[in-house]
Each structure stands twice: as structure tokens, then as C-alpha cells.
Chain A
Amino acid sequence: MRHIISILIENEAGALSRVAGLFSARGYNIESLTVAPTEDPTLSRMTIVTSGTERIIEQITKQLNKLVDVVKLLDLTEGPHIEREMMLIKVKASSMAQREDVKRLADIFRGHIIDVTTSTYTIELTGACVKLDSFIDALAEHKIIETVRSGVTGIARGEKSLHL
């Protein structure tokens, strides 16, 4: 099953490689990983999307907690949560028909066209991972030149939070 694991980790050199190294050394899947400092510059927030059986997910969370730099951990998928990923996608749009269709699709998905040339549109789209996948599927008729995805971030709904 797919899990979104959020961790607060000491914002120190090498912290990212400790986490990445753990996943490769133990053969765990890693679908995406994002990391950036929080409002407290000594802490980074990392979001990891992984998949595995319950036993493997349990091991992943335990092994992450065991890393000396990891301060706190939350498996977002265990409760109600919001998942967001941002995508920048550059699409060929030279003919009038292409330009209209791409614009229409972008509107339907609530994306924004953020850069325009005579032959391309670049669209910014934010949403859950599956929404971005659907948008790519919807563009099947078009020529995608470039896709850039930020990786998933997420936050728990309601009062629940991951903080010190």
C-alpha cells in the first residue's frame, strides 16, 4: 500500500543522504522525496512517498525513527490528510486547435498557463498525485515536451500536526 511519511529532521549536512541511504540499503521503495527547512531553520520537513506491506511500512517508520537526526515522524496516510504535488508541464501548442484544446484542459484541471511561446504552453498544476497523473493522461493527444514534478508534500487535517 502507498504511504506518505512526514518527518522532522535536524537541518544538518548529510541528513538527506542518511534517509536516502537507508531506503537503498534496506531495499525499500521510494516514489518521491521532498525536503525543505521549516519555519524553524534548524529543522527540515521531509515527505516520503513509499509503498510496501504493513510489515515493511512498520519497519520503514521504525528505521527512520532510529536515525539519530530524525526528531519526529508521522505516517500521514494513517489519518485524514491533504496531499499536494506541483507540476510544471511544457506542451507543444503551435496550431490554433492545439492551443485551444490545451488551454481548455488546463482550465478543467484548474491549472495555469504560466509561459507562452508561439509553439508551446507551460502549465502549472497543483493537486494530489493522481490528479497530476490524470492531467498527463488527458494530454495523450498532445506532444508533452517536458514534465517537472515537485514530489508529494502533505499535512494532516484538523488539529493533528507534526511539530515539536
Chain B
Amino acid sequence: MELSGGEILVQCLKDEGVDFLFGYPGGAVLHIYDALYNQEDVRHILVRHEQAATHAADGYARATGKPGVVLVTSGPGATNAVTGIATAYMDSIPMVIITGQVATANIGSDAFQEVDAVGITRPCVKHNFLVKDINDLAETVKKAFYVATTGRPGPVVVDVPKDITDPSIKIPYHYPETVQMRSYQPTLKGHSGQIKRAVDLLLSAKKPMIYTGGGVVLGKGSDELRRFVRKLGYPITSTLMGLGAYPSSDELFLGMLGMHGTYEANMAMHDCDVLIAIGARFDDRVTGKIAEFCPDAKIIHIDIDPSSISKTITVDIPIVGSVPDVLQEMNGLLESSKKSPDKKAISAWWAEINSWRSMKCLSYDRNSDKIKPQMVIEMIHEITHGQAYVTSDVGQHQMWAAQYYGFDEPNRWINSGGLGTMGFGLPAAMGVQFAYPDDTVICVTGEGSIQMCIQELSTCLQYGLPVKIVALNNRYLGMVRQWQEFFYENRYSHSYMESLPDFVKLTESYGHVGIRIEKPEDLRKELERGFAMKDRLVFFDIVTDQTENVYPMIAQGKAHNDMHMSPYCEPPQDPERELS
């Protein structure tokens, strides 16, 4: 079979099993778009901005575990995609991004729509390639998928000059089944000696703590994690990225940790004597003050990326390997071990944890005459029975969604945790909805974030995507306002948004349904009405309390036991502990 470069690219995607290609055409990729015409195996989704193409592919990848694939043109197509590529990179999301490039002969001549895409993306990709010879094209695509999806996943860019896809040049096509790279051989299986030491340490713990992250979701380690935690009966917390890997409704789950983590999770972190970190990377939003992080704990760390280990926090037992592989081995050892957890110590530890829990740190004013954002999230949880896919943008609404939705399954909570990209939510929800057309997909957002990719309402109309947009509209860039209230003496510098659009009319002009909700008493009824419209995109413009804050909060650089608490918490049962 002789194919042109453009046809080879499309055929590679078919052979790789790609269902969806999120993209936007332009000069440098016209040959590829011509090859996409009249074929139905790879469905091309035309977005309205290249940033959205990357976020949509990213959302698809996070929900399905399969790589997201993007096609954009050279120059501005590539630069617009950079934010989405960096977003995926920070959260280790497998993606393959094909960028068009000017013809090989014009590279370096400042040609029209020329940009050094390989150079610009280098710091925010796992790897990138410039294809200089059509004979390398198929193998390069194979390598791109291999690198993107193995080891610690990440985005890979393939830059394809226009002459490489010239329809008049055809070569025999062969897509390699496997690819070997001498310079890239990720470790999957953990070191057995280290695993044994880790299990011994875990069984000797008096105040153990399990801390999990996005690596459990990405590594598909949720089932092994559940076996592991239930076998031990130890408390477990999760980062923002790991929510759902362990069911949040389970008694052993203490909620999220870190800057906006629960009181019990953060206190248990501070007081634990053995910590096992699983697929988590000790991000600064999690650790708080490094010098006071888990001061009394011996630390075990499982991660597929050796460079994540002892990067910020020195660990005692490092284990490099994939989460399910390592946990499976640990579970085997736990089953065959003659030792078992110290029952007396563990039950005393739980008593201590339960006294922290009794504060009900996520309490808020339920009798307010204003709509409380927390209530909105709790209500959408009820209406969707906790079964929805929830994407979010970035800010207060993101934290409330993380705290109050209560995820019981992995891959359901989709947000930009590492880079914190406003504008992520709506296009990510599109990607999820394409993957799961019959499921409820919610984008929790704010009136600030949603305007960063609002144009995608048009894409949603074109493809009939019934995403439910829940905009918590407080007329403030809420998280900025909260920091200004706490740390800048209420100087609300440029965090207030005037001249907001009428979101209902805006949504309607895009051909969708808009519902504005202003009063708490209308909330449930209006949400139920909107969620009942299964085949329509509904934009809920919900007017929420302007001054509500996200609690608990650890100020940047403070220790885990130093939290701002909601004024609606219960008094602590443990009198020895003073609240800040």
C-alpha cells in the first residue's frame, strides 16, 4: 500500500485505534485535512480555538485512560495549543499533538505562520519530534504514542512540515506493531526488597497514614489500592488529582489533604508515624511548610518517576514502579504475612482521628438567604447520584467541587491541578462527553474561568454535546478575592468583574438553554429542571454569595496543623488542640 504523508498520518491514527481527533485546520496541515476527508474511522472534532482542542483531548484522556489526540496548524495553531500542552504535562496526561510546520526548505526563514514548535514546546512536553523525512513518519508516530502512554505519561508533540505530507509523494506504508527505544525503558516492577521493607514498616506503624495522588488514577491502580487500604484498615487521604481512586464515601477516607484539605486529613498527616505516598508527588499545595511536613513520620514513596522521589521531601523507603504492580506485590505480602497491624494502636489512632472529624470542618451556613456555593455542589451530587463526570476550571469553585461532590470512582473528577489553567473546564467536558455520550458531564466553573473558553459553546452545538455548565457566579475572581481578604487586608485589586454578559442570553444565542438561579429556594427545582434536559446543553448561571471563602485553608508556607477554619465548624472535642 503506497500512501502520501498525509494519508500515512491518518492511517497511523486508525492503526493506533484513535476514535477522536480534536483539531483546527490551517495552511500547513491542509494535506492532512484532505486525507481526513471521506473517512469515518477517525472522527475529527472541529473546535473554536486550538487551546480547546488540547483541553478536549486532555479531558478525553483523563476520563478514558486512552491518549488524547490533537491536530493543529503551524505558527499560531501551535502557540495556541501550548497552554493545553503545558496543562497536560503538569498532570502527566497522555496526549499526542500533531502540529503542522512550514515546508522543510522554509524552516528558519521566518516564513508565514512559522514558529519553532519543537523549541517552544520543549519545556512542557514529555518528548517531541520534528519529522524531516517521510520515511520516518509512521515510526515517529508510533514512538510518540509509545512515549506518551508508558511510564509516567505525558504529552508528545510531532511537528510535521508541509512537504512531508505532500499528496504527490507516496511511499509504502508500514505501521510498526511495537517500538524499541534504547534510551527509554520505564521501570514498572518495584524492587522486591524495598517492597518487603515497606510492608514491614507499615505493619509496625502505630499512627499510619496513606496518601494517594493522581498516579493511582493514571496507573489504573484503583482496584489494588482498595484491596490494600481495606486489608490494612488504615486512614487514607488523597490529593486533588487522586480523588475517586478510593471511594470518598468510605469510612476510611478522610477527605482531601493540603491547602484546602480537611482538618482530619491534615492533622493526621501532621501526627502520623508512618506515611505511605502512592503515586503522589509532594506538591507544594500538599506539603505546606516543608520543614514541618509529617515531622514524626517514616516515609514510603511509590512512584513510577524516579525524579519524583526525594525531590522535595526526603523519603526513607523509595519504590520506583507502577502503582498497580507495586500494590499487587504488597497485597500479596500482606496476605501471606504472619504479622498484622497493631490493633490497639490503630484503634487509638482512629479515636484521635474521629475527634478531629467531629469538628465537621466542611460545615457552612445552611440557612443563608444567599445561595451558598457548597450547597450547589452537594445538590448536583444528589441529583446525579454522584455518578457524573465533573470537570472544573480553576479557583474557588474547583475546590468546592473537589470537597463537596464526593467522588467514588476514578477518572470522574477532571481538573487542571498542576498548571491551574482557567478555561480548562468546558473543553475538557466536551472531550469527556464525546467519550461517554450517554453519561452526565458537568462543568463546574465560575464567571471568570468560563469566559476563557466560552467560544466552545459553539462546538457543543455543532456536535450536540449536552454538557451541564454549573457556573458559580459571585462577580469576583473568588480565589483571588479570598487571598486579598486574608493576606492583603481586603484590598480587592482587580478581582471584581463588572460588565458581565447576560449568560442566559449568551447561551441562548449559541443555541443552548440558559437558566439563571438567584434564590436558595429555587436552587433544587431549577437544577432538577435543567438536569432533566438530557439532550441539551444547559448553562446554570447561579448567583452565589459573593464573600464565601474556601475552608479549611492552610496559608502558603504554613504547616498542616495551622489552618484557617470555617466559622461554622463544631467546637473541637480534643481540648488540647488550639485552633489558629
Contact = CB atoms under 8 A, between A and B. Distances in A.
Are A and B bound to each other? yes
A9 B184 CA distance: 11
A55 B310 CA distance: 8
B119 interface: yes
A69 interface: yes
Contacts of A66: 305-307
27 contacts: A9-B183, A10-B183, A14-B118, A14-B119, A14-B122, A14-B130, A17-B122, A18-B122, A21-B123, A55-B310, A55-B314, A59-B307, A59-B311, A62-B307, A63-B307, A65-B307, A66-B305, A66-B306, A66-B307, A68-B126, A68-B181, A68-B183, A68-B184, A69-B183, A71-B182, A71-B183, A164-B182
Given A14-B118, A68-B127, A69-B127, 5 more contacts: A14-B130, A55-B310, A58-B310, A66-B306, A164-B182
Contacts of B183: 9-10, 68-71
A25 interface: yes
Interface in B207-224: none
Interface of A is mostly: helix
A75 to B, nearest CB: 14
A150 B306 CA distance: 32
Contacts of B118: 14
B130 A13 contact: yes
Contacts of A18: 122
Contacts of A68: 126-127, 147, 181, 183-184
Interface in A37-63: 55, 58-59, 62-63
Interface string B121-136: 0110011001000000
Interface residues of A, number: 20
Please name the 6 residue pairs, one residue from A and one from B, whose CB atoms are nearest each other, closest first.
A62-B307, A68-B127, A71-B183, A68-B184, A25-B123, A62-B306
Interface residues of B, number: 19
Contacts of B184: 68
Contacts of A71: 182-183
A58 B310 CA distance: 9
B149 to A, nearest CB: 13
Contacts of B181: 68
A65 B311 CA distance: 14
A62 B152 CA distance: 14
Nearest to B128: A14
Contacts of B127: 68-69
Interface string A100-127: 0000000000000000000000000000
Nearest to A70: B183
A13 B123 CA distance: 16
A21 B307 contact: no
Contacts of B305: 66
B346 to A, nearest CB: 33
A39 B199 CA distance: 47
A70 B185 CA distance: 11
A65 B306 contact: yes
- Which of A59, A62, A164 gathers most chain B CB within 10 Å? A62
A2 B130 CA distance: 35
A58 to B, nearest CB: 7
Nearest to B311: A59
A4 to B, nearest CB: 20
Please indicate which of the listed interface residues A55, A63, A68, A70 has the most CB atoms of chain B within 10 Å of its own CB: A68
A154 B118 CA distance: 31
B310 A21 contact: no
Contacts of B314: 55
Nearest to A15: B183
A21 B306 contact: no
A107 B309 CA distance: 50
Interface string B295-316: 0000000000111011100100
Given A68-B126, A68-B184, A17 B306 contact: no
B159 to A, nearest CB: 11
A1 to B, nearest CB: 17
A65 B183 CA distance: 9
Contact of A21 (B122, B126, B147, B309): B122
A9 B181 CA distance: 12
Nearest to A22: B123
Contacts of B311: 59
